[in-house]
A and B are shown apart, each in its own frame.
Chain A
Amino acid sequence: MNRYLRIFGTFARACLVRDMTFRANFVLECVTSLGWMAMNLAFYLLVFTFTPEIGRGTGWTREPFFAFVATGLIVNSIVQALFMPSAEELTEMVRTGGLDAVLVQPLDAQFLLSLHRVDFSSFANGLVGVGLLAWAIPRLPQAPGPGALLLYPLLVACGVAILYALVIMLAAATILLGRNQSLYDFWFYLTNFSRYPAEIYSGPWGGPLRALCTFVIPILLVVNVPARVVAQPFTGQAWGMVAGAVVAAVASLALSRLVFQAALSRYRSASS
């Protein structure tokens, strides 16, 4: 474990050194993603000039909703920073045969392939998310209790785990297909559903979609559960969601492990 931490430290250090070598690019990446996020926030502010609440009686008024958005920023920035660059690179490694070098090393391949690239510029959004959360919490209609605040990081971690499992399973598909350029697109479609409160999915179309995104591909638990725990009154129903998020996280990780191992054993290796 200690060794894996040290190896991750080496990866992170190397990526930071590289990022600093191409400083202008690093700054540009930060600015681009902050700009995109600012536009989104402005859009949500605009929405709240037309309505006091998203969905009647849902409790997602302005401040709770911004706590929700902040949670989304935090979860997504962790995934984007830690796992996404590696997963994207896996596609390239399979195509060029770079995966060969990974497989001969005495190290868990899934660990190495999930974490060998860290994109530090993606943490910028997460930092803004933390700031936004710190702004929103004192302004909530009902302040979260100490229990909720303690649960919050755990549930964020569960959300990250669920998204990680999805990313790495999509990346594993690359190993089987030889090429998977649509990885990022597919990822975008999926996570799009996780960006909004689950309550908006209702009615004849919304209901089934909500069930699908909760129980089959549990992306609705990613942001919703931690956001709800911190931004809404903590009820008995919340415990069920907390348990659901933990179970979904563990199950997703286990499944991703199985899928990844199966994919690796079918690796064909590019011709040299």
Chain B
Amino acid sequence: MHNSSRPPSPPPPGSPGAPVIHVEGLAKEYRVFDKPEGLLASVTGLFRRTSRTVEALRGVSLTVGRGEFVAMLGPNGAGKTTFLKLLSGIITPTRGRATVLGHVPWERSDDFRRRFALVMGQRNQLWWDLPAAESFRLHKEIYRIDTPRFERTRDELVELLGVGTLLLRPVRDLSLGERMKLELVAALLHEPEVLFLDEPTIGLDVVAQHALHRFLSHVQAERGMTVILTTHYMKDVAALCKRLVVVTQGSILYDGSLDQIVDRFTSHKIVTLDLDAAPDAAAVARWGFPAEIRGPQVVLRIDRARISEALPRILASAGVRDVSVEDVPLEEIVAELFRSGSGAPPPRPAIAAAGAGGGP
């Protein structure tokens, strides 16, 4: 039916760490019609509409192994949700191929759909006017879960999240955090092998976020589930994932470990000095690094290659009481990535130098 639906030679299933999700050059374009302002233009628009093509995803390739917990990070409109919708088979791609658990998602086979789950933080999948217990019962029928297994899984999940008292309350009477927990229970009842989480922590308070983090990492580890999580929040990533995929404007900008992103995209460290008294700006400037003076505290951005040379010199200055050397915060790196996200990685001049212990 679809030209693009031939599976790209699926890997042997079942083997630990074998690719569960395999994506090659996946692209999705939408044709959108411009709605001009004003009455006359609207009437003209009835007869002749101007359309343009929006590329939500531009040829993404990715392989995810069994049991991996991957975070997908990107600004609004980066294509994260589109990516998950394609992998869930909700929409069909314009180009490219994908298999999830050996199936082409947009063929929507029941065998495939029984083995994964999708949770969208901004959508409600439980019956609004009814207690969640009713939605769970429906789930049991739809996913053909036999009664003992259903009860065991439900009780286990409910206990882990501490939502036993909420099961019989109409969903519309619950708070967002409570509802999200029950959404997760519903999604996990059929023990999916693959779980797609689309911004599950959006709008949640810190306590609820923590609860979800603990729950997700526990269940994921216990079941060996393969999870892709999209989010705006670095906290989610740091708490849950080892692997990070940064997406902007429909392309992958970075795909690798959480630790490496720091090495790869920053050339400096943050050095914070606590001084006896507020320093003289001219003296700080003489150190030769971008600096910010906050009362008796100075924050310097020092090239990694020059740290060993610069630190002793700076510490030798009078009145330094304390010093800390830190990596650039992840948020800052990612924000920088988002801003620069034109598809090309940002310049990274000093990395080779840092690795080699000296500059060219």
Contacts and interface: CB of A to CB of B under 8 A. Distances in A.
Given A21-B129, A272-B81, A10 B92 contact: no
26 contacts: A10-B134, A10-B137, A10-B141, A14-B134, A17-B130, A18-B127, A18-B129, A21-B129, A100-B85, A100-B88, A100-B90, A100-B123, A101-B120, A103-B108, A104-B89, A104-B116, A105-B142, A106-B110, A106-B111, A106-B114, A106-B142, A265-B1, A265-B92, A269-B85, A269-B91, A272-B199
Contacts, number: 75
A101 B123 contact: yes
B287 interface: no
B125 A103 contact: no
B144 interface: yes
A269 B120 CA distance: 13
Interface of A: 3, 6-7, 10-11, 13-14, 17-18, 21, 96-98, 100-101, 103-107, 109, 265, 267-269, 271-272
**Of B88, B111, B199, which is in contact with the most chain A CB atoms at under 10 Å from its CB?**
B88
Interface of B: 1, 30, 81, 85, 88-92, 108, 110-111, 113-114, 116-118, 120, 122-123, 125, 127, 129-130, 134, 137-138, 141-144, 170, 198-199
Nearest to A107: B142
Contacts of A267: 90-91
Given A98-B123, A269-B90, 16 more contacts: A3-B144, A6-B141, A7-B141, A10-B137, A10-B141, A11-B138, A21-B129, A100-B88, A101-B125, A103-B90, A103-B108, A104-B118, A106-B111, A107-B142, A267-B90, A269-B85
Nearest to B134: A14
Given A7-B141, A269-B85, A272-B120, A105 B113 contact: yes
B107 to A, nearest CB: 10
Secondary structure call for the A interface: helix
A17 B168 CA distance: 13
A184 B295 CA distance: 69
Contact of A106 (B85, B88, B143, B198): B143
Contacts of A271: 81
B198 A272 contact: yes
Nearest to A99: B90
Contacts of B170: 21
Contacts of B81: 271-272
Contacts of A97: 123
A14 B130 contact: yes
Contacts of A96: 123
Given A17-B134, A98-B123, A268-B91, A104 B117 contact: yes
Given A14-B130, A17-B134, A104 B142 contact: no
A103 B138 CA distance: 15
A268 B92 CA distance: 8
A139 to B, nearest CB: 44
Contacts of A21: 129, 170
Nearest to A271: B81
Contacts of B114: 106
B54 to A, nearest CB: 11
A201 B101 CA distance: 58
Given A6-B141, A272-B198, A104 B113 contact: yes
A195 B129 CA distance: 35
Given A7-B138, A272-B122, A14 B110 contact: no
A98 B124 CA distance: 8
B138 A3 contact: no
Contacts of B127: 14, 18
